[in-house]
Chains A and B, each alone.
Chain A
Amino acid sequence: MGIISRGFSGRSREHNPELPPGQFLTEDFPVLSAGPTPRIDTDEWEFTITTESGTVHRWSWADLMALPVEDVATDIHCVTRWSKLGTSWRGVSLDTLFAGVDTGYGFTMAHSYGGYTTNVPLADLLGGKAWIAFEFDGQPLDPEHGGPARLLVPHLYFWKSAKWIRGIQMHKTDDAGFWEQNGYNIYGDPWLEQRYS
């Protein structure tokens, strides 16, 4: 345990076991982007998965909307220490999108409109763990929160849930994305408090 802070008692509250270490509960929805918010029309939107052979799998907004959509109820955890429990989203599972994709590589780089990147191992995108999400709390996803669509990977710190998702590139190695190159952990498990590099 750390140095006791003289006179500090904190608010009396019960420790919430649903919160990973070092997190506090928030009722609002903070925005922590590194730059201005990209504005993407669904008419021009597309999502791609690109493999090591150079094959590009491509979905327009209409293509995405024609796929099976799931309701997702999940907790989200930001590395800046706020967590929201029981958030609701709607999106297409990465399992659905990867169904026709042939790859031998085990890592990915997510690319966003506006240039943001973040790396996620393929295993963390599959098995019901990740979605391309376009609705939050019953409404179309706000651009400030990553709309029209963002990657949603709630078991990792939320910087991995790339806003304004544009595509996923297969990688042979676990190469660092934007925040990973700027001091943050290569993997980002909130339960192991993997915040920084």
Chain B
Amino acid sequence: MASVNTETPTGRSIMIDVPGWGGNLAGQHLDLRLSAPDGYQAVRSYSIASASTGDRLELAVDRLPEGEVSPYLVDDLLPGDQLELRGPLGGWFVWRPEQTTPVQLIGGGSGIVPLVAMARAHAASGSTARFQLLYSVRTPEDVFFKDELAALASPYFAVTWVYTRRTPEGWPTAAGRVNREVLAAATIPASENPAVFVCGPTGFVESVADSLVALGHPAASVKTERFGGK
């Protein structure tokens, strides 16, 4: 592990050097394995926040209260520590720079991770496909990659922020959840045939996906990646 950066009160981004990695597509994930001295092993999947062709990749991990692996990655891992990874994995929830359709990214909480990879890949490739991101978080402190997302703003990439519990001071709208009205106002409409990627906790994704279908997006155009249970 090369370096870490604290992103939120419970999350951090982690840069890892992986000799021979060779890069990954935006949206892919990897399996990370921890081994205790007594032989106990735990494996978890993490979306990759980067989408470069080199041997350095970035993860962003949120510490789950009942988690087994995330607390170690967020609180204990130090630069120089070694990790075992397997990947890249996944061929469905990915964006390739050859795709020219407009893209609507919708992320909830740490669901932003694969979407950041897509936004980065979009910028790095010079793609002029229209990209929009709707990022929903509880409070301003819960935003991952805040500075980077602001820096990625361009004529081809715009971010809409939604705060569900507490907004920044002076924010023009009250705190509230992403519902059909918010989606209708802030996302690329179905009439433009966007490819839509939704990622986050399963309740968030389910609600957003249902609303998108109700707003006219074909189900086949809405790709979802869900964390957590129900």
A: residues with CB less than 8 A from B are 1-11, 15, 22, 24, 26, 28-38, 80-82, 114-115, 144, 178-179, 181-183, 196
If A8-B72, A32-B226 touch, whether A3 touches B35 (CB-CB below 8 Å) is: yes
**CA A183 to CA B92, docked complex, whole Å:** 9
How many residue pairs link A and B with beta carbons under 8 A? The number is: 108
Is A31 within 8 A of B202, CB to CB? yes
By a CB distance below 8 angstroms, the chain A residues around B149 are: none
Nearest to B94 among chain A residues (CB) is: A182
**Of listed A7, A8, A28, A181, residue having the most chain B CB within 10 A:** A8
B209–A30 CB distance below 8 A: no
Pairs of residues from A and B, 10 with the lowest C-beta to C-beta distance, nearest first: A28-B229, A36-B209, A182-B91, A30-B229, A5-B34, A2-B35, A182-B92, A10-B40, A8-B34, A31-B202
CB atoms of A9 and B226 under 8 A apart: no
Give, as a whole number of angstroms, the nearest-CB distance from B183 to chain A. Answer: 13
Task: Check if B36 sits within 8 Å of A4, measured CB to CB.
Answer: yes
Q: Which among A9, A144, A183 is the interface contact of B230 at CB below 8 angstroms?
A: A144
> In the bound complex, do residue A30 and residue B202 qualify as a contact, i.e. CB atoms below 8 Å apart?
yes
A45 CA to B34 CA, complexed, in Å = 45
Main secondary structure of the interface of B (DSSP, over half): mixed
Cβ contacts B40-66/A at 8 Å (1 or 0 each): 111111000000000000000000000
Contact A31 B226 (CB under 8 A): yes
Q: Is the Cβ of B91 less than 8 Å from the Cβ of A183?
A: yes
Q: Is the CB of A3 within 8 A of B39?
A: no
B83 partner residues in chain A, CB cutoff 8 A:
3, 5
Q: How many angstroms between the C-alpha atoms of A36 and B206 in the bound complex?
A: 7
B45 touches A36 (CB 8 A): no
B68 touches A10 (CB 8 A): yes
- Smallest CB separation, A152 vs chain B (Å): 18
Closest chain A residue, CB of each to CB of B221: A35
Residues of chain A within 8 A (CB-CB) of B34 are 5, 8, 10
Question: In the complex the two chains form, what is the Cα distance from A28 to B201 in whole Å?
Answer: 13
Q: Are B230 and A8 in contact, with the CB atoms below 8 A?
A: no
Q: Does B141 contact A (CB under 8 A)?
A: no
Residues in B lying within 8 Å of A, measured CB to CB = 33-45, 68, 72, 76, 78, 81-84, 89-93, 202, 206, 209-210, 212-213, 219-220, 222-224, 226, 228-230
A30 to B76 CA separation, bound complex (whole angstroms): 27
Please state if B210 and A10 are interface contacts (CB–CB under 8 Å).
Answer: no
Contact flag A183-B90 (CB < 8 Å), given A4-B35, A10-B40: yes
Which secondary structure dominates chain A's binding surface? loop
Q: Which residues of B contact A181 (CB under 8 A)?
A: 91
Residues of B within 8 A of A196 (CB): 89
The answer on a CB contact under 8 Å between A9 and B36 is yes
Cβ 8 A contact of B36, one of A5, A80, A178: A5
23 A-B contacts, Cβ less than 8 Å apart?
A2-B35, A4-B35, A5-B36, A8-B34, A8-B72, A8-B76, A10-B34, A10-B68, A22-B41, A26-B229, A28-B229, A31-B202, A34-B224, A35-B209, A35-B219, A36-B210, A36-B213, A36-B224, A81-B45, A82-B229, A179-B92, A182-B91, A182-B92
Q: CB distance B68 to A11 under 8 Å?
A: yes
How far does the Cβ of A19 sit from chain B's closest Cβ, in whole Å? Answer: 12
Report which residue of B43, B68, B229 has the largest number of chain A beta carbons within 10 angstroms of its beta carbon: B229
Q: Which residues of B contact A29 (CB under 8 A)?
A: 229-230
Which chain A residue shows the least CB distance to B214? A36
Known pairs A5-B34, A182-B90; list 19 more (Cβ under 8 Å): A2-B41, A5-B35, A5-B36, A5-B82, A8-B35, A9-B36, A9-B38, A10-B34, A15-B40, A31-B229, A34-B92, A34-B93, A34-B224, A36-B213, A114-B219, A115-B220, A144-B206, A144-B230, A179-B92
Q: Which of A5, A37, A114 makes the CB contact (< 8 A) with B210?
A: A37
Could you say which residues of chain A place their CB within 8 Å of the CB of B220? 35, 115
In angstroms, Cα B44 to Cα A30, docked, is 14
